[in-house]
């Protein structure tokens, strides 16, 4: 039985491996014992319990947040297909464990609920992903969030501060936040790094003292525009709390989505490297284009804390933001004009996506908050894909020339 093997096999690779090897092999450690070459998809919603005493023990363990038990009991408590991609992500982030959720927002919600149980005051550094900002600012979860500059964390820490939350590179301006400095300022308070833009290929926050690493796996980890998922890598104690919350709230990753996520991981480094090479070329050309007044890209040094490139952040990545002289109307015209680039929200897909943060992803921020964090009416965010870079440039150049404000 698959679950029995999965529950008892030592799920670790025998020795340390380079990231590119882990991307291909992590979470697949039980394949040999199973006699398979691809992850089995277990779609069971429930599992037979023949031995009631053993079933009760498994139930108790899973509800309390155990990573696995002899019997999965019920799909809201455990799923072996999901557990494999969790194991892979833990290895990739250098963490004890990882916990997968139905989306990035479900993952963040679980971390915030865990923080609420520990005190309920959260310090967060803007800019953040628009919906994350909205969830924190709305008070919906009964958490008190204080938005602070990274430099003010130590001064604003309180006895009931349960979490410090940062996003680096930040969405949509690509500003970088110094993880080492934030971890030092947070002291005993756990730090969560939303590392969605970086992926484990470019950044490893756990090694810098972060307690949680969050990914919207919808983006680079899935990578093909067909999965919505969230994942948190963290220590075993934190993971136990998150699994217990997930069992209670039900924000599960479906095994088919987990399979697709796991399916995409082996090519993650290749995708990130190719998209990053394309982005470097496009960033330089956009910065020089007469319709563009600024181009934010870590590789151009045009973002906050760009000096962290090469240390904290191994490469500049494939996201960039650029400001159009023609403002909102010019951005709307570009959305209409692109043919090869997809005018859509989301990012980290194999295809190039372009969108308007003020009108879409960061719409939920108040206008003055948008402006204060550089989300201007003419700002566009480009998530560069793995297409041929000259084809992409031709499309972007034509779109920029079509706008009424081009010179
Ligand atoms: C998309 C995104 C999220 C939210 O993830 P979903 O999977 O859409 O719920 C959180 N943080 C960042 C940086 C994102 O880009």
CATH 3.40.640.10 fits 17-266, yes or no: yes
Return the residue matching tokens 């939920």: 364
Active site residues: 76, 129, 194, 219
Region 136-155: what's the mean pLDDT?
Answer: 96
What's the predicted TM-score (pTM) here?
A: 0.94
User: Ligand 1: which residue has its CA nearest to atom 2?
Assistant: 216
Which atom, in ligand 1's list, is nearest to the CA of 128? 13
- Alpha-carbon distance of 324 to 294, in angstroms, equals 8
Three-state helix/strand/coil letters over 102-144? CCHHHHHHHHHHHHHHHCCEEEECCCCCHHHHHHHHHCCCCCE
pLDDT of residue 288: 97
State residue 87 phi and psi, 5-degree precision: -60, -40
Third-level CATH fold of 268-406? 3.90.1150
Two tokens, residue 233: 């890598």
Q: What digits encode the pLDDT tens for the residues 348-369?
A: 999 999 999 999 988 877 777 7
* Residue 8 scores a pLDDT above 60: no
User: Ligand 1: which residue has its CA nearest to atom 8?
Assistant: 104
Say how many Å lie between the CA of residue 16 and the centre of ligand 1. 30
pLDDT of residue 15: 63
Say how many Å lie between the CA of residue 68 and the centre of ligand 1. 27
Q: Mutate which of 126, 131, 203 to test ligand 1's pocket (most atoms within 8 Å of Cβ)?
A: 131
Region 146-163: what's the mean pLDDT?
Answer: 97
pLDDT of residue 405: 54
Residues present in the chain in total: 407
pLDDT of residue 369: 78
Output b/e per residue, 239-251; b: 16+ Cβ within 10 A: bbbbbbbbbeeeb
pLDDT of residue 230: 98
pLDDT of residue 6: 41
Say how many Å lie between the CA of residue 93 and the centre of ligand 1. 18
* Residue 307 scores a pLDDT above 50: yes
Tell me if 319 sits within 8 A of 168, measured CB to CB: no
Say how many Å lie between the CA of residue 112 and the centre of ligand 1. 15
Give the number of other CB atoms < 10 A from CB of residue 275. Answer: 25
* Residue 101 scores a pLDDT above 80: yes
What letter would DSSP give residue 45?
S
Q: Does residue 167 line the site of ligand 1, with CB under 6 A?
A: yes
Mean pLDDT for the chain overall:
94
Same fold for the pair 17-266 and 268-406: no
- Alpha-carbon distance of 157 to 68, in angstroms, equals 36
Two tokens, residue 261: 């996520």
Which atom, in ligand 1's list, is nearest to the CA of 230? 7
- Alpha-carbon distance of 353 to 20, in angstroms, equals 26
406 versus 344: which is more confidently predicted?
344
CA 20, 233, 180 angle in degrees (round to 5)?
Answer: 90
pLDDT of residue 172: 87
Q: Does residue 194 line the site of ligand 1, with CB under 6 A?
A: yes
pLDDT of residue 366: 72
Q: What digits encode the pLDDT tens for the residues 338-350?
A: 999 999 999 999 9
Region 71-77: what's the mean pLDDT?
Answer: 98
Helix orientation angle between 236-249 and 104-118, rounded to the nearest 10 degrees: 110
2 versus 233: which is more confidently predicted?
233
Tell me if 224 sits within 8 A of 350, measured CB to CB: yes
Q: What digits encode the pLDDT tens for the residues 108-117?
A: 999 999 999 9
Q: Mutate which of 129, 166, 231, 254 to test ligand 1's pocket (most atoms within 8 Å of Cβ)?
A: 129
Q: Which of 219-223, 358-362, 401-405 is the least confident region?
A: 401-405
Domain definitions of the chain by residue range: 17-266, 268-406
Q: Mutate which of 165, 216, 317, 344 to test ligand 1's pocket (most atoms within 8 Å of Cβ)?
A: 216
User: Ligand 1: which residue has its CA nearest to atom 5?
Assistant: 104
pLDDT of residue 14: 54
Share of the chain above pLDDT 70, in %: 96
* Residue 301 scores a pLDDT above 50: yes
Say how many Å lie between the CA of residue 361 and the centre of ligand 1. 10
Of the candidates 298, 324, 301, the one whose C-alpha atom is nearest the C-alpha of residue 377 is 324
User: Ligand 1: which residue has its CA nearest to atom 6?
Assistant: 104
pLDDT of residue 354: 98
pLDDT of residue 68: 96
Identify the band that residue 387 occupies on the pLDDT scale cut at 50, 70 and 90: very high
Return the residue matching tokens 């628009």: 130
């Amino acid at each position: 039985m698959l679950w029995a093997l999965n529950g008892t096999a030592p799920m670790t690779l025998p020795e340390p491996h380079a990231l590119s090897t882990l991307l291909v092999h992590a979470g697949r450690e039980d394949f040999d014992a199973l006699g398979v070459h691809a992850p089995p998809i277990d779609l069971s919603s429930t599992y037979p319990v023949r031995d009631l005493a053993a079933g009760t023990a498994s139930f108790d363990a899973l509800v309390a947040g155990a990573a696995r038990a002899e019997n999965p009991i019920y799909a809201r408590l455990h799923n072996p297909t999901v557990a494999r991609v969790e194991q892979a992500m833990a290895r990739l982030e250098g963490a004890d464990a990882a916990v997968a959720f139905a989306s990035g927002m479900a993952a963040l919600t679980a971390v915030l609920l865990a923080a609420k149980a520990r005190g309920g005051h959260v310090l967060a550094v803007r800019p953040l992903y628009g919906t994350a900002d909205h969830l924190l600012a709305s008070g919906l979860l009964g958490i008190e969030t204080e938005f602070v500059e990274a430099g003010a964390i130590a001064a604003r820490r309180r006895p009931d501060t349960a979490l410090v939350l940062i996003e680096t590179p930040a969405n949509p301006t690509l500003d970088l936040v110094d993880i080492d400095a934030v971890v030092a300022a947070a002291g005993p308070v756990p730090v969560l790094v939303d590392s969605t833009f970086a992926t484990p290929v470019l950044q490893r926050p756990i090694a810098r003292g972060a307690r949680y690493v969050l990914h919207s796996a919808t983006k680079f980890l899935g990578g093909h525009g067909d999965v919505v998922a969230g994942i948190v890598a963290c220590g075993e104690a934190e993971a136990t709390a998150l699994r217990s919350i997930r069992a209670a709230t039900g924000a599960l990753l479906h095994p088919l989505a987990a399979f697709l996520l796991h399916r995409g991981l082996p090519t993650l480094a290749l995708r990130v490297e190719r998209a990053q090479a394309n982005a470097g070329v496009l960033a330089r050309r956009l910065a020089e284009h007469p319709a563009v007044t600024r181009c934010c890209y870590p590789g151009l040094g045009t973002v906050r804390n760009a000096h962290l490139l090469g240390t904290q952040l191994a490469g500049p990545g494939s996201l960039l933001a650029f400001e159009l002289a023609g403002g909102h109307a010019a951005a709307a015209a570009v959305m209409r004009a692109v043919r090869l680039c997809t005018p859509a929200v989301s990012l980290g897909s194999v295809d190039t996506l372009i969108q308007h943060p003020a009108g879409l992803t960061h719409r939920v921020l108040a206008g003055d908050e948008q402006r204060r964090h550089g989300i201007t009416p003419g700002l566009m965010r480009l998530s560069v894909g793995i297409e041929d870079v000259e084809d992409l440039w031709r499309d972007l150049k034509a779109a920029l020339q079509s706008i009424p404000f081009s010179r």
